[in-house]
Structure 1
Amino acid sequence: MTLKVEHVTGGYGAIPVLKDTTFAVQAGEIVGLIGLNGAGKSTTIKHIMGLLQPQTGKITVNGLTLAQDLTAYRQQIAYVPELPVLYPELSLKEHLTLTMLAYDLDPQTTWPKAQELLELFRLDKKLDWFPINFSKGMKQKVMIVCAFMTSAKLYIIDEPFTGLDPLAVHDLLAIVQAKKKAGAAILMSTHILANAEQSADRFVLLNHGRVRAQGTLEQLKAEFNLEATSLEDLYVQMSEEAPR
């Protein structure tokens, strides 16, 4: 099992956002993290990344906690954030080089992987470009290339479809499936429920910082006592349960 979030309570201050949150993502599967705005999806991801520390509970990646070995823990994770984070003074090529240094990757074996992704997302002619030259979608593609050229054990992608054209969305989903087949674990948070339903093996539904339900789509239908339904229907049902 790659990622385990065990009874995590935490957030940004004295009042917790997450409340006894427990779920796992196994190697070779895609789990969709679904919830309304404010449900705790981003807070959950920040705890997994080590940007926030749990008040109680434990998070492990392949049995390793952040406290045991910060560098080794983070090198197992590749992250595509909702909003691209690029250094304005670094070119695309320098961003890729920096990523290789951060993950201690061999440039001779990694550059061919990067080149394939650059060509796929039509960035191969833009290695000398700087972030100021990129559109929002191109910046997102840079983040995708930096993440997926690694051999991470766990990929966390947070609203990855923002700003992407339909062809890029198709290509990203294909890459995610390839990483899954290679044995990686993928945690995907998104509001594009059709893409989540198409791609994910299981779902974790968050509601006000708690896991409202988790499982396959069929298991969730049983949980919500619904027959012919979609992930969007479950989302609407959960919203009706939420206090106003």
Structure 2
Amino acid sequence: MLEIKHLSGGYGQLKVLSDINFTVADGTMTALVGLNGSGKSTTINHVIGLLAPKTGEILLNGVALQTDPVAYKRQIAYIPEQPVLYEELTLREHLEVTMKAYTLDRDVAWARAEQLLTIFRLTNKLEWFPTHFSKGMRQKVMIVMAFITDAPLFIIDEPFLGLDVVAVRDLLHLIDERKATGTSFLLTTHVIDTVEAHADHFVYLKDGVVDQQGAVADFARLVPELVEEG
């Protein structure tokens, strides 16, 4: 379980978030929703440890980011909005680095990788360098790298930008499969339409505060202005 308690923070002297509180329970997906500038990415940057909270605390399965950052970060698989790949490494080498970083059993990890590469039509591209990948293909590489891990929490920042409709469907199917095994997901999005049938809860950020949160089924009632804009 991810627990965010009274989180306030931002960039340097710029305060973006104020007293954020929410949890992501085991085996559930929480959609972090809001318009541009609402604080979604800032919240994610605090959760993954790129930014230090000014006040409050963040716990993942009882481990505090502030007191044991290594044990905390080992529990996270992160798929950023903008893919981050090493230009000098092939796709195969990216997967190998991920396996070593998460101390995965190599045979098990490669079996899982081969399934994912097939799903995202990357099987024949293991020796390719990132320079040969389109934006959508880079995003698929990030997805494969994340899903070969056994991380109990996946954080996915605006995952559908650049993905084709088939890849979006495949990603949502993978999320559903992992949720069924107890994996938790925190996913950011501008609108909730795409994940409505897959998310369990939502947190609506507005101007750096939690304006509304609850079950996804209640989203249209609680946040009508975003439904209309979306």
User: Could you state the TM-score of these two structures normalised by the residue count of structure 2?
Assistant: 0.95
1:94 corresponds in structure 2 to 93
Q: Which runs of 5+ in 1 are unaligned?
A: 225-232, 240-244
The match for 2:129 is 130
Match of residue 14 from structure 1: 13
Deviation, 1:198, is 2.2
Contact 2:34 / 2:204 at 8 angstroms: preserved in 1?
yes
**Equivalence for 1:184:** 183
Match of 2:110 in 1: 111
Question: Unaligned stretches of 5+ in structure 2?
Answer: none
- Write the distance in 2 (CA, Å) between the matches of 1:94 and 1:144: 15
Cα distance in structure 2, aligned partners of 1:93 and 1:30: 30
Aligned partner of 1:149 in structure 2 is: 148
Question: Which piece of structure 1 moves more, 212-221 or 38-47?
Answer: 212-221
Structure 2 residue identity aligned to 1:235: L
What does residue 235 of structure 1 align with?
226
- List per-residue Cα deviations over 1:121-157 (Å, max 9, x = no partner): 0101110000001011000000000001111110000
Give the CA deviation at 1:221: 4.8
Give yes or no for contact 2:33–2:191 (8 Å, CA) kept in 1: no
Give the Cα–Cα distance (whole angstroms) in 1 for the partners of residues 112 and 30 of structure 2: 25
Distance, in Å, in 2 between the alignment partners of 1:140 and 1:218 is 29
> Which residue number in structure 1 is paired with residue 138 of structure 2?
139
RMSD: 1.4
Superposed CA deviations along residues 88-140 of structure 1, whole A, max 9, x for unmatched, are 00000000011111111111111100110001001011100000010110000
Percent identity between the aligned chains? Answer: 51
Structure 1 distance, partners of 2:116, 2:74, is 20
* SS across alignment from 1:83: coil
With the length of structure 1 as denominator, give the TM-score of the two structures. Answer: 0.90
Q: How does 1:1-244 map to 2 (within 5 A)?
A: 2-221=1-220, 223=222, 233-235=224-226
Deviation at 1:216, TM superposition (A): 1.1
Compare the two structures and name the one with the higher strand fraction: 2
CA distance in 1, matches of 2:217, 2:176: 21
Q: Distance in 1 between matches of 2:63 and 2:15?
A: 24
* Equivalent position SS for 1:125: helix
Task: Output the amino acid matched with 2:168.
Answer: V
Cα distance in 2 for residues equivalent to 1:76 and 1:221: 32
Amino acid at match of 2:136: G
